[in-house]
Structures are given as C-alpha cells and as structure tokens.
C-alpha cells in the first residue's frame, strides 16, 4: 500500500510540474506538440550545430514554443503533407530577445569564425549586419515566425533544398536559379503549402515563414525556451 502511495505521489508531482510548465507561457503561446504531437522538432539554437557553434542564450530545451494561431495553421500544413507521405521538421520558432542579443555579441567578435566554412563561407563576418543576416530585432521574438523544412515520411530525412538551413548566401534565396530541378521543386512545394495556409515567406531564406496577421506584431518577448 505504501509503495502504491509513493507511485501515486510521484505521478501526481510530475503531472503538476508539467501543468505548471505549460501554464508558465504568456497568454496566446503554446507548446507546439500540444497541438501537433507528431511534429519533428530540432531547435538548432539549443545545440552547437548553428552558425555560432554553441548553445544560444535562452534555449534551455528542445521544446518548440509558438503562438496558438501559428500552431493551428501549422497543423493544417502537416496534415496536407501527410497525404504525400511527407512531414514537417522545425528548426526554430519563438526566439527570446536574449538569444538575438547573443547573436549580436557574436557578430561583433570578428575573431570568432569557427563555423564560417559551413554557414557563411562567402560572407565577411564584419558585413553580416549590413547584409541583413544579423539584426537587433527578430520576428521570431514575436512568436509567429518559424524556420522549417520538409522531410521524407518514411526515413525522416529532410528533402534537398539546395542549401543548408541558416546558410548565409544567395544559395538560400527562394528564387535562386543555380540549383537542380529536384531542389527547385522541393522549395516550391514548401513555399506553396505554407503560403496556402496563411504564412508569408522571406525571399532570402527558403525556410523562413511568418503567420499573416500575427497576434503580437509589435511585441518582442524574452521568456526562455524551457
């Protein structure tokens, strides 16, 4: 009896902690998995696999946080892709302002070029601000912007889009011409399905989309991803 009681208390504690965790989000925000349970999430800024080469300030877990409206529309995208045996993979969603500040500090340290060859081989680091790759504010901090790609539903492997995620260069522009026909079709599929479900794209990043009529168009949040 005592053993069962301990198990009950442990389970109840985990339930309460999980409930509190979800309730800690600002009103209008959700954990994406509560609406899209099968969504593949790989927050690159929670890892060292990004242009900085380190975990970014404010990312304390691999949990995708976005506004509720964004999650609901993204669910429709996922459902449509499932009909073609395809899925979504998300690399970033809500981004705390402190993470953007981390990018700014990194960009000003011209000696730190550990991942230059992988992410910005043809761009001088001192020009990242001028070229628009780094900014003091990000639409991600408003909660309705997401970075994502499409994966094969059987293997989980991302489709070939012609450039890696977060690659700083013309190869990442949506209408970049010097790619294969397959890569072009993959990009067009992503653009088409996202635009259909109320997302607008960013012409210089094939992976970047923002919900139209986002709920917080002028508010930049700074709560942590945890």
Active site amino acids: 205
Instruction: Using the structure block, give the residue that is written with the tokens 């198990």.
Output: 7
Q: Roughly how many angstroms between the first and final C-alpha of the chain, as a whole number?
A: 36
Residues in the chain: 226
Angstrom CA distances, 109 to 35, 99, 106, 114, 128, stand at 40, 16, 5, 11, 12
Query: What kind and span of H or E run contains 72?
Result: helix 68-82
Q: Identify the CA nearest to 146 among candidates 80, 79, 212, 224.
A: 212
Burial class of 127 by CB neighbour count within 10 A (0 to 12, 13 to 18, 19+): middle
Nearest-angstrom CA–CA distance, 110 and 70: 36
Nearest-angstrom CA–CA distance, 81 and 207: 16
Instruction: Using the structure block, give the residue that is written with the tokens 């001088």.
Output: 124
Vertex 127 angle, CA 124 and 130, to 5°: 155
């Amino acid at each position: 009896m005592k053993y069962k009681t301990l198990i009950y208390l442990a389970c109840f504690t985990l339930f309460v902690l999980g409930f509190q965790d979800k309730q800690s989000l600002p009103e209008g925000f959700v954990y994406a998995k509560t609406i899209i349970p099968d969504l593949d999430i790989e927050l690159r800024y929670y890892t060292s696999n990004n242009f900085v080469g380190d975990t970014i300030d404010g990312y304390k877990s691999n949990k995708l946080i976005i506004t509720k409206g964004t999650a609901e529309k993204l669910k429709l995208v996922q459902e449509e892709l499932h009909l073609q045996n395809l899925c979504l993979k998300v690399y970033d969603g809500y981004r705390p302002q402190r993470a953007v500040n981390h990018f700014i500090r990194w960009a000003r340290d011209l000696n730190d070029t550990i991942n230059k060859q992988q992410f910005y081989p043809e761009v001088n680091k001192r020009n990242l601000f001028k070229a628009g790759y780094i900014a003091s504010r990000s639409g991600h901090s408003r909660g309705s912007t997401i970075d994502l790609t499409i994966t094969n539903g059987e293997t989980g492997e991302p489709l070939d889009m012609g450039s890696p995620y977060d690659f700083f260069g013309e190869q990442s522009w949506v209408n970049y011409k010097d790619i294969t026909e397959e890569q072009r079709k993959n990009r067009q599929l992503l653009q088409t399905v996202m635009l259909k479900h109320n997302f607008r794209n960013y012409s210089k990043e094939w992976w970047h989309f923002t919900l139209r009529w986002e709920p917080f168009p002028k508010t930049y949040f700074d709560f942590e991803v945890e």
